[in-house]
Structure 1
C-alpha cells in the first residue's frame, strides 16, 4: 500500500452529439490511392494558429476552436459553442467541492514542455499520411479481434456515470493488438444500430505507431460499420479546453508497488435546443486526479 506524494487534475470539456446519423465517417469511401490519402490528410489538418513539436514526436496544432473537425458536419453550420453545460448533476457538484479542497497542480502532457495553446484555440495532434492509412486498415477489418477483458456494467435508463481508471503502460506483443481501460456507454443492440460513447486510455500501436499510453475518445452509431472514429478525426466531439490534446500521450504511469496514478471520467446527459434541432448532448467532463491507495 503506497500513499501518493503528489496530486494533479485536469478538466477537458467535450460536447458529444449523438443523433441518428448525425455523425459520420464513411469507410466505404476510404482512400485507396496516394492522391486520396493526401486529400484526406490535408482536410483533417486545420490551419493552426500555432504549432508545437512534442518530445514524443507528435506535432500539436493549436486550431481556432470554431475550426475544429466537428464543424465540418453540415448540421453544425453556424453552431454557437457553449463552453459549459447548462446543467450539473448534484453528485458532480459534490465531487468538484471535494476535489477543490485537495492540493493539486495542473496536469502536464509531454508537449507542454515546448509551449501551450493560446486562449480560443484547442490542441489537435497533426494527422500524418500514415495515420490515415492506419485508420483505414483498422476500420476495413470485417471482424473484431478476439478480446480478453474484465468489466463491471449496469443496465437501465442512465443519466450519468463515472469511473476512476488506474494509468498503466502495458506491453503489447503484436502491432495489431491493443490494451485499454475505459468507460463504454452503449445504446441499442449489438448489431447495426449499436451506439457507443467511449473514453479512457489505451495503448494502440496499429493506430498511433508507438507504444505510448494515450487518452482517447471514440464513438459509433452503427456498430462500428460505417460511422465513428477515434479522438477528433471526424465530426462527433466538440472540444473546448485548450490544455489537453485528445489522443496525446499520458505523462506518468503507475508503478507496481509504487505511486499510483489515476484519472476519473464523468459523463452526464443534458439537453440543448437550437433553431435546427433538439438533440441530446452528452457532456463529458474528464477529470484527472491522483489519490492515495
Structure 2
C-alpha cells in the first residue's frame, strides 16, 4: 500500500473540518427557527430526514403567496401537484372541467358565486385567509400550503405526517347507533347518489371553530368525501378534503 503524503492528509483534515462546521451551521439555523422548547432537542439526523422529505413534497412553485396567518401558499403547476406523486396516478391524465353542465346546475353555480361575493364585501371575493391581499394563483396552477418542519414535528413520526390513522374496516360496518351520552362512537352524515347518476362535482362550506382535543386518541374533523365502491369490499376509493385537529397535527 502506498503511503499517503502529509500535505494530502492535511487537505483531507481541513475539508472534514469545513464540512462539519457547515453541517453544524445548517442544523443551528434550522433549530433557531423552531419556536417551541420541546423541539429544541431534535437530533440533527432527524432534522435532515425531515428536510429531505419536505424537499420532496414541497414542489417548485410558479408563484408563492404569503398569508396573513403566516402560511406560505405555493402556486404549483397542475402537473406537479403532490397528489400526482401517488404510484396509481403515474401518467394520469388530468380531467378538465366539463364543457357542458345541466341547465339547473349552471343556475345554482351562478347564484352561489354571487352570494359568496356579496358576503365577501370589499375583500374582492376573498374566501380564504391567503386571498386577503387580492393575489390569486395563476391559471393552470394549484394552491398548495407549504409544509414546514413544525408541521412534521407535530405528527407522531415522519411516516405518519399527513396521513390519517388507519382504522379497522369493521368500524365502517357497525350498525348500532353511536353512544352519544358517553361520547363513544362516531357521528356523521352521508348523502348518496342513485346508481347510474352522473356526478359533476361536489362542494361544501366548512366552519371550524375552536375544536377541542382532550384525550390522546380524540380528534375533531370537518370534511367532505367523494366515495366510490363499497364499504363491505376492497374496492372503496375516496377523495377527502377538509380540516382536522388532533395529535397527528394533520391539516389538509
The TM-score bracket by the shorter chain reads 0.5 to 0.7
1:143 pairs with 2:167: yes
Take 2:164 and 2:79, find their aligned partners in 1: how far apart are those partners?
31
Q: Does 1:113 align with 2:132?
A: yes
Residues of 2 paired with 1:55 and 1:127: CA distance? 16
CA RMSD in angstroms, aligned pairs only = 3.8
Deviations 1:173-219 (A, max 9, x none): 237512325345242234543222334x434244547xxxx7xxxxx
Distance 1:113 1:36 in 2: 34
CA deviations 1:74-118 (Å, max 9, x no partner) are 755484x55422342344223135446766352332122344333
1:271 aligns with none
Distance 1:91 1:132, change over 3 A: farther
**1:38 has 2:38 as partner:** no
Are the equivalent residues in 2 in contact too, given 1:172–1:179 (CA < 8 A)?
Answer: no
Q: Which has the higher helix share?
A: 2
SS state at 2:227 partner: strand
For 1:16-31, list aligned pairs within 5 A. Answer: none
Larger RCO (CA under 8 A, 6+ residues apart): 1
Q: Is the 8 A contact 1:188 1:194 kept in 2?
A: yes
Q: Deviations over 1:8-64 (max 9, x none)?
A: xxxxxxxxxxxxxxxxxxxxxxxx955443332111111123322222231111223
Contact persistence 1:40–1:132 (CA under 8 A): no
Instruction: Give the length in aligned residue pairs.
Output: 178
Query: Contact conserved, 2:59 with 2:81, CA < 8 A, in 1?
Result: yes
User: Structure 2: how far apart are the matches of 1:180 and 1:193?
Assistant: 24
Superposition map of 1:218-257 within 5 A: 247=252
CA radius of gyration, larger in: 2
Measured in 1, the distance between the counterparts of 2:59 and 2:219 equals 30
Please name the residue that 1:57 is paired with.
70
SS of the aligned residue for 1:185 comes to strand
Q: Against the structure 1 CA distance between its residues 205 and 150, is the aligned structure 2 distance closer, same or farther, given a 3 Å change threshold?
A: closer
Matches for 1:95-244 after TM superposition, within 5 Å = 95-99=108-112, 104=118, 106-114=125-133, 115-132=135-152, 134=155, 136-137=159-160, 139=163, 141-143=165-167, 147-154=185-192, 156-157=194-195, 158-160=197-199, 165=205, 167-174=207-214, 176-190=218-232, 192-199=234-241, 201-208=242-249
Q: For residues 142 and 166 of structure 2, what CA distance do their matches in structure 1 show?
A: 34
Matched residue, 2:102: 89
Name stretches of at least 5 consecutive residues in structure 2 with no aligned partner: 1-44, 172-183
Alignment partners' CA distance in 2, 1:172 and 1:130: 20
Taking structure 2 as the reference length, the TM-score comes to 0.53
Higher strand share: 1
CA distance in 2, matches of 1:155, 1:67: 32
Equivalences for 1:254-273 in 2 at 5 Å? Answer: none
Residues 226, 239 of structure 2: 8 Å contact kept: yes
On the 8 A contact 2:74/2:144 being kept in 1, the answer is yes
Residue in structure 1 matched with residue 35 of structure 2 by the alignment: none
TM-superposed CA distance for 1:150, in Å, is: 3.6
